[in-house]
Chains A and B, each alone.
Chain A
Amino acid sequence: MIRVENLVKRYGNIVASNNLNCHFEKGKVTVILGGSGSGKSTLLRQLTGLEQADSGAVYFDGVNLTGLSKKKLYVLRKKMGMLFQGSALFNYLNIFENIAFPLREHTKIADNIIKTIVTMKLEMVGLRGTENLMPSQLSGGMMKRVGLARAIVMDPKIIFYDEPTSGLDPISTGVIDKLIRDLNKTLNITTVVVSHDIESCFRIADNIIILFYGDIIASGTAQEIRNSKDPRVKQFINGDPEGPIPFTRTSKNYLDEILID
């Protein structure tokens, strides 16, 4: 479905994607794990064509996204759904209009048909009856579910989730995890999740990619990652403060920085 080849992205001296090679299998849930600043979100933005790589390629169904015109990307994005970290609902639109938005933007579907589609999607996320509410009247977990209904409203082939459970209580997290898994299974949607939530990751993932400062330090099935002997992987999934993954990012000596003018 998506193949990444020799992907490089730099911001000044920071290498966010350091010659990445990976594959996102059709119909599977792949979780990109990594700490803050590991390059997860940069990779996600490149997978969706929101950001261009310095070099390398991202193939979506065989089409290279890098260097593609905005017009062609716009057409391709109709096949993609995205759940943003903060849900990114339009505060001035009610729930119905938030979910209907992509249909009104991309298609010429009649209002009656849009109404039925929105009702079907709200049923899938368990929120029928909230159509006339405003986003400010919903909890964080409900907002994510509305965001999810909007992400699937165009029947995407692939859906991207950016930190879908961050800031949610354990029950809401469980609900979102179940929805991700159910939608993947029933709609057969290829699923890419960016996360640093280990428990959630192991609940939903078929495959896992672990990033560390722009490098892929491990990739494999959830079981392979769980059984990994790599100390960096073990430190990450156990959440150990001490280990080969340093707490600070800079390689500059602390005392040198303090004492040298």
Chain B
Amino acid sequence: MSFKIKSNEKENIGIIKVDGEVDMFSSPNLRDKLLPLFEKGVKGVIVDLSGVSFMDSSGIATLVEGLQWSKKDNKQFVLTGLGANVLNALALTKLDSVFNIQANANDAYKTLLNI
């Protein structure tokens, strides 16, 4: 499945929608979308993974880096729409408990608006 990524910003909240397989070759694209949002100083970033069919170690590591950036600047970082495959990949690396995981991007957006 091909990889697609879209990023937009509303009310100082960045939303990244990822579709397809996040692997060693596509994950740098995710990093390229995350970095400018944190550099710009948005108050939170939501990564919508509902369209992700597969995520490898590099994808997980990229999300970890996003989490590190958010913690450094005291920003919000939320993952949404995780399928069983992504959840398994997080559990395997014992990282499922460190992320803020929400069911869907809309609800996560509403929550961040009120922070």
Interface residues of A, Cβ cutoff 8 Å to B: 78, 103, 106-110, 112-114, 116-117, 120-121, 123, 153-155, 186-187
Contacts and interface: CB of A to CB of B under 8 A. Distances in A.
Given A110-B31, A154-B24, A155-B24, A116 B92 contact: no
Interface in B1-57: 23-25, 27-28, 31, 56-57
A186 B24 contact: no
Contacts of B60: 116, 120
A86 B92 CA distance: 28
A contact face: mostly helix, strand, loop, or mixed: helix
Q: How large is the interface on B (under 10, 10 to 19, 20 to 34, 35 or more residues)?
A: 10 to 19
B94 interface: yes
A109 B65 contact: no
Interface in B61-106: 61-62, 64-65, 68, 92-94
A107 B68 CA distance: 22
30 contacts: A78-B24, A103-B24, A107-B58, A109-B24, A109-B27, A109-B28, A109-B58, A110-B28, A110-B65, A113-B27, A113-B58, A113-B61, A113-B65, A114-B61, A116-B60, A116-B61, A116-B64, A117-B57, A117-B61, A120-B57, A120-B61, A121-B57, A123-B94, A153-B57, A155-B23, A155-B24, A155-B56, A155-B58, A186-B92, A187-B92
A109 B22 CA distance: 13
A120 B64 CA distance: 11
Interface of B: 23-25, 27-28, 31, 56-58, 60-62, 64-65, 68, 92-94
A154 B57 CA distance: 8
Contacts of B28: 108-110
B110 to A, nearest CB: 31
Contacts of A116: 60-61, 64-65
Contacts of B57: 117, 120-121, 153, 155
A121 B93 CA distance: 8
Nearest to A153: B57
